[in-house]
């Protein structure tokens, strides 16, 4: 890869690497390594490290940004902030796909646009920045490339309201009909029932979940539906 291409990506990240070997490794998919020099390292180990680094950085970001949130709200917000769909969306904002080093087979099957591959590469990139310049540098890149854009473009990702209310807000903001909740099954004795609830949006089944009460099952179904809708929206080009 030419130095000019790496410089373009560095400019988008807002980080200039002291050791570009980390950047090159973060961009190298295992399919490329398999076809190239056997000694060439791919980005899988960086991906593993990046997952842990992002979990820490997202936790710190949310604690600082939302000082009155409960532990449960923080956990839910973090899960949505660093899920695969959010990471793939961040990678697309950086146009990370164009910089990846792929094998011929992966190239032919559209690897540069695969959400899972993009999400993995973004994790590897965060790890590369961390190894190159430390946690503060990685935090700044994550904030600029992932956290702040997610808050701006998808505020529902970090909604404080319960999941039924958050789903309703998401639908209203897009001019869509309210969600409908239907109990599709009940099981167990009266003192220990399990309810299965389906959530439908404009006649389409979006999610099904179980709970020890109708309310619990509805909240679980709403959470699944919201996560699915947010992920679908982020995957759009």
Is 132 annotated in the active site?
no
Among all chains, which residue has been given the structure tokens 């003192």? 191
- 103 to each of 110, 112, 125, 166, 184, how far by Cα in Å? 11, 11, 19, 42, 47
Distance between CA 198 and CA 210 in Å, rounded?
Answer: 9
Cα 237 from Cα 233, distance rounded (Å) = 9
User: What strand order describes the sheet that includes 194-201?
Assistant: 179-187, 194-201, 204-211
Give the burial string for 147-175 (b: 16+ CB within 10 Å, else e). beebeeebebbbbeeebbebbbebbeeee
From the candidates 24, 42, 123, 218, which is the catalytic residue? 123
Which of 10, 44, 51, 60 is catalytic? The answer is 51
3-state secondary structure of 34: helix
Answer for the pair 62, 167: CB distance below 8 angstroms, yes or no: no
51 annotated active-site: yes
Q: What distance in Å separates the CA atoms of residue 130 and residue 46, rounded to the nearest whole number?
A: 10
Query: Rounded to an integer, what distance in angstroms lies between the CA atom of residue 226 and that of residue 80?
Result: 10
Catalytic positions: 51, 123
């Amino acid at each position: 890869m030419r130095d000019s291409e790496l410089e373009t990506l560095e400019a988008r990240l807002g980080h200039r690497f002291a050791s570009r070997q980390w950047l090159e490794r973060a961009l190298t998919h295992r399919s490329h390594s398999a076809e190239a020099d056997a000694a060439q390292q791919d980005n899988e180990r960086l991906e593993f490290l990046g997952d842990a680094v992002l979990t820490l950085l997202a936790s710190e970001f949310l604690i600082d940004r939302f000082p009155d949130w409960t532990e449960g709200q923080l956990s839910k917000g973090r899960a949505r902030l660093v899920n695969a769909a959010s990471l793939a969306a961040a990678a697309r904002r950086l146009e990370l796909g164009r910089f990846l080093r792929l094998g011929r087979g992966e190239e032919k099957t559209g690897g540069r646009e695969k959400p899972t591959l993009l999400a993995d590469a973004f994790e590897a990139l965060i790890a590369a920045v961390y190894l190159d310049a430390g946690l503060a540098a990685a935090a700044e890149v994550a904030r600029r490339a992932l956290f702040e854009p997610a808050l701006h473009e998808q505020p529902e990702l970090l909604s404080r309201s319960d999941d039924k209310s958050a789903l309703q807000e998401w639908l209203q903001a897009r001019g869509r009909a309210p969600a409908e909740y239907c109990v599709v099954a009940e099981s167990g004795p009266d003192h220990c029932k399990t309810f299965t609830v389906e959530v439908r949006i404009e006649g389409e089944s979006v999610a099904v979940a179980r709970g020890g009460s109708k309310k619990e099952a509805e909240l679980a179904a709403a959470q699944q539906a919201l996560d699915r809708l947010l992920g679908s929206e982020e995957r759009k080009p």
